[in-house]
Amino acid sequence: MASKRSLITLCLFLFYFSLTLCLCYGTRTLSPLSSSTNDVLLRMSPAERLIRSFNLFPRKSVNIRKGSSDDVFVPGKLVEKKFSFLADSSVQELGHHAGYYSLPRTKAARMFYFFFESRNNNSKDAPVVIWLTGGPGCGSELALFYENGPFKITNNMSLVSNDYGWDKVSNLIYVDQPTGTGFSYSSDESDLRHDETGVSNDLYDFLQAFFKQHPQFVNNDFYITGESYAGHYIPALASRIHQANKQKQAILINLKGFAIGNGLTNPGIQYAAYTDFALSNKLITQSDYNNINSRVQGCEQEVKNCATEGGDHCAAAKATCDQIFQSILSAAGNVNYYDIRKKCEGALCYDFSNVDKLLNDNSVKKALGVDDDLDYVSCSDEVYFDMVNDFMVNYDVGIPPLLEDGIRFLAYAGEEDLICNWLGNIRWVSAMKWSGQKEFNAAPTVQYKVNGVEAGSLSSHGPLTFLKVYKAGHLVPMDQPEAALDMLTRWMQGKLN
């Protein structure tokens, strides 16, 4: 397995190196590179670009602990403790938990998680919400501390309460997954995941153990949320839970809905939308558009090959289709592809480095029950590469059966994001075949207002809702925290329509 992964990594590196030479020196009609920013970005692998754009510098590429002196691995064991990051609050009153779950379908993998009981007095009745960060290979603490968690990190490394944390209306779980991400780790490389079957099984097993640990929440409504590459994770997990519930396999998880923010779900449709989005937002010229669009047909064919043949055909599809995105970046200059209103300085588009500093502090690790010698891996390039054959798989195919059974689905997208833009998302949502497809596509688009102020546009029919969020990029809860909390609240109440 390791040699195969190394071969795939080498092939992708050689592809991107040759692509860089083509973009920088080949004969083309694209707009000239505006700065050295493009040279920096184009020399990077997609995984490295992801990590460096957030100003993250994990000490390790993956959390594999060789020769670890850990306790004996007990499959299915969950160890949890309460903690407090805030000096003026007791451990007991906050209801903040951190723990490890020993994944039973692995040789030695432990999944790390946070659990925050709702800060309001109705925690016993509030829905349970799990958040999944994408990447693949980025820890969910990026969302916890910069988007929708109970607190945020200040520049002086102190924590302050987040007025728009999603724990105000839910009991909130954050998970570091797949294995090797964040504080999740193993001593055996074979535990690293390569597809959504492994990912969804691990998450399902964790949720079973979680509800055994917290039986008071078993009957509460349950929702799956996340963004970016979680557009793969979320439909897979929702389908896994739904099928298990129907077969009465174990504890019934009261799944009511799932929400994907600026997700990658149907790559064949979403990659083809890149040029239209870029042209309409004046990131590229008409000449650029015509030139780059010539790559779309080849991309679509490779995606079909991935669907029918699988395996390395999917890695080939990613390499081919990424040419579209790379070409747009080359033409657009130093645009922040997570938020086109902003610029990137070199490879840096955001500065999330404080999360690395905070979680690698030994006193913080001790409070969370994490061993001193375990590093926090904010984003893992090895986990990213191990999922390379999963990228171009279409995961909207599992959604229609969920809709037919009345499980609500919210797709939302910040309008300023390029990499998982709203246009590609509304196209795959509209193309998805289910009994309400015609009615959804005919439904009027209405204003979405928060406290009387227009904050987006919304389309809905039955259990399906699509929301475009104004003045937001890839990270909607960070860019528009009040709107994001309002969106979640109304959607869980069945009032986002």
Residue 223 and residue 258 in contact, taking contact as beta carbons nearer than 8 Å = yes
Over 406-466, what HEC string results? CCEEEEEEECCCCCCCHHHHHHHHHHCCCCCHHHHHHCCCEEEEECCEEEEEEEEECCEEE
Kindly name the residue from 390, 474, 479, 486 that is annotated as catalytic: 474
What one-letter code names the amino acid at 192? L
CA–CA gap between residue 1 and residue 20 (Å, rounded) = 29
Catalytic residue among 186, 228, 239, 378: 228
Peptide bond preceding 178 in cis form (omega within 30 of 0): yes
Q: Which of 205, 417, 479, 486 is catalytic?
A: 417
SS3 264: coil
| Cβ atoms of 411 and 466 closer than 8 Å | yes
Instruction: Please state, as a whole number, how many other Cβ atoms lie within 10 Å of the Cβ of residue 215.
Output: 9
The answer, yes or no, to whether the previous bond of 127 is cis (omega within 30 of 0) is: no
Which residues are CB-contacts of 230 (< 8 A; sequence separation ≥ 6)? 132, 133, 134, 260, 261, 263
CB atoms within 10 A of CB 165: 23
Q: 215 Cβ partners below 8 Å, 6+ apart? A: none
**Structural contact between residues 427 and 268, judged by C-beta atoms closer than 8 angstroms:** no
Three-state secondary structure call for residue 311: coil
Concerning whether 417 is annotated as a catalytic residue, the answer is: yes
Q: State the catalytic residues.
A: 228, 417, 474
